[in-house]
Amino acid sequence: MTTHTRRQFLIESSVALAASLLPSSLFAAAEAPRIPNRDTTLKFNPDGTPRPFAGNTVICHLPVQSAMRDAMVMLHQELKRSSYHTKLGLTSTDSYHMTVFPGANDLDRSAYGWPSYVPSDAPIEVCTRMVGERIAKKHFACQLPLRVRVDQEYTVNYPMACSLRLVGADAEEDRKLRSLRDQLAETFGFRLNDHAQYQFHMTMSYQIAPFTAEERNAYRDLMKVYVKRIAEAVPVLELGIPEFCSFPDMFRFEPQRLLVCS
């Protein structure tokens, strides 16, 4: 990847993060992020279909039998029949998850990070095997379950559609999540620039084209209703054992092994 491309990616990511952290009253004044950003164009085609995007990660899948999932599926259906649905790359309702640590991927190694002990030209399958071997030997200090809640205002005003923004259920849960990420960064052998400020989330769609002002208003009105329903369905979401997964694209995450946590 060229220096210019890497710099562009980091600038776009920083702008999106800064905008998302502003109070809702200041969103209109904040500089809008570039849509689609590099992350989206790597993962989705312009028609909203997923591109091949192989890699590995540590995630917590949303429980299948969950009132929160039921509410999220309803929002997914509303987004799918909205007037702006062609501007969204909707993810699969079967793969909803919270990312604990975004691992390595085959397409954008420089921007996303690559394990320090894996040859830079190694196939992604080799990378996944080597990381998995290290995870198998690691005992992570983290008391389960992981407990999070939906930040409703942050989610409604997040500048790109559509992502449930999650925070620790309390200060201790946030500390637990941050500590686990620190341990995973050591195990993976890299730490991204946004490591300390990383915002937990569940991605329901990627935005592949900008909204008009009318579409943005309609989207926010929809989110105000459904995000409230999602948060009320499960005020505190308890997530089970984090999973080290491989993936071919953003629609399927195959567990390779469970983290040993206590």
In angstroms, the CA 63 to CA 71 distance is 13
Q: What is the pLDDT of residue 112?
A: 67
Cis bond upstream, residue 145 (ω within 30): yes
Q: What digits encode the pLDDT tens for the residues 62-75?
A: 998 899 999 999 99
Per-block mean pLDDT, blocks of 10 residues, the chain (262 long):
42 42 41 86 95 97 94 98 97 96 89 86 96 97 97 96 97 97 95 88 97 97 98 96 97 96 94
Report how far Cα 215 is from the mean position of its chain's Cα atoms.
Answer: 23
Q: What is the pLDDT of residue 196?
A: 86
Q: For the packed helices 171-188 and 124-136, what is the interaxial angle rounded to 10 degrees? A: 120
Q: What digits encode the pLDDT tens for the residues 112-152?
A: 689 999 998 999 999 999 999 999 999 999 999 999 999 99
Quick one: 214 exposed, middle or buried, by C-beta within 10 A (0-12, 13-18, 19+)? exposed
The yes/no answer on whether domain 3-114+124-261 falls in CATH 3.90.950.10 is no
Angle CA(164)–CA(65)–CA(183) in degrees, nearest 5?
A: 55
**Residue among 149, 166, 167, 154 at smallest CA distance from 220:** 154
Cβ–Cβ < 8 Å for 86, 207: no
Report which secondary-structure segment, H or E, holds 199.
Answer: none
> In the chain, which ranges are continuous DSSP H helix?
3-21, 38-43, 67-80, 109-112, 124-136, 152-157, 171-188, 213-233
Domain borders along the chain are 3-114+124-261
Report which secondary-structure segment, H or E, holds 238.
Answer: strand 237-239
Q: What is the pLDDT of residue 108?
A: 80
Q: What is the pLDDT of residue 193?
A: 82
Report which secondary-structure segment, H or E, holds 147.
Answer: strand 146-150
Q: What is the pLDDT of residue 16?
A: 44
